[in-house]
Chain A
Amino acid sequence: MPRARKGAARNKARRRILRSARGYWGTKSRHKQQAKVALTRAGQFAYRDRRARRREFRRLWITRITAACRMRGTRYSRFINGLQNSGIALNRKMLSELAIEDPKSFDRLVEMAEEKTTAQAFAR
């Protein structure tokens, strides 16, 4: 069995790593070892943030619905409670988009929610 040397394989591995680390800052895009570390971390962040993204967007929609509710003299919890009691199954994403694109429909939704709500009235 002839002796296999590492040279070609090592160069290939280095090229593969540096290629996927393109655009990274400083040595992270130029040195194999730094690039390798950066890529591992990048993968971890990507994995974590794909999950965090869902939570962040839900938070944003809720903030927007809150703003739209307060403009109309109610509040988020009261509005959602009313929707639930009247069996309206629109999700928060669509509610927030409605509040921006179609304020008239949102007005109507607030009215419908107010009829069925069991939450206490606005304190202020």
Chain B
Amino acid sequence: MPRQTTFAKPGEIAPSWHLVDADGQVLGRLATRIAVVLMGKHRPEYTPHVDCGDFVIVTNAKGIVLTGRKSEQKHRTHYTGYPGGLRSESYGSLIERQPERVITDAVRRMLPKNRLGRQMLSKLKVYSGNDHPHHAQQPTPLS
């Protein structure tokens, strides 16, 4: 056994691809599972300063479920920069308009807020429909 703790080097861990069907899944419950895989915390070689996560493909984003009254009560707000320009949209209508965005945002907020976190987020591919263009990567179902 080595005396020193092992650290994975960048590129040393070959990332694999995972596929999840979001239909009927609860938003936060799904997002935590995705975030763990994107960060690489699902493998024993996890190294905090290296991106050792896998790719995740999410299909059927439009089937994502919010519990309780969150689709009416939970809002996404942003400020346009103009006076009185605070816009707000309920999650219910956001899911209809941009379901990919809902999942991406939920996962993004669970990842580290730094350069590495942004790199990890780029490995998340979300599609509102049933199909995805990553068949060549031979994704396996996310456990």
A residues adjacent to B (C-beta < 8 A): 57, 60-61, 63-68, 70-71, 93-94, 96-101, 103
Contacts and interface: CB of A to CB of B under 8 A. Distances in A.
Interface of A is mostly: helix
Interface in B22-78: 41-46, 48
Main secondary structure of the interface of B (DSSP, over half): loop
A57 B4 CA distance: 11
B1 A63 contact: no
A67 B1 contact: no
A93 B6 CA distance: 10
19 contacts: A57-B5, A60-B5, A60-B48, A64-B44, A64-B45, A67-B41, A67-B42, A67-B43, A67-B44, A67-B46, A70-B42, A93-B5, A97-B1, A97-B2, A97-B5, A97-B6, A98-B1, A99-B44, A101-B6
Given A100-B6, A101-B6, A94 B1 contact: yes
A100 to B, nearest CB: 5
Interface residues of B, number: 11
Interface string B91-126: 000000000000000000000000000000000000
A100 B1 contact: no
Contacts of B2: 97
Contact of B41 (A63, A94, A96): A63
A100 B45 contact: yes
Given A57-B5, A67-B46, A97-B5, 6 more contacts: A64-B45, A65-B44, A67-B44, A68-B44, A70-B42, A93-B5
A41 B46 CA distance: 32
Nearest to B39: A63
Nearest to B43: A67
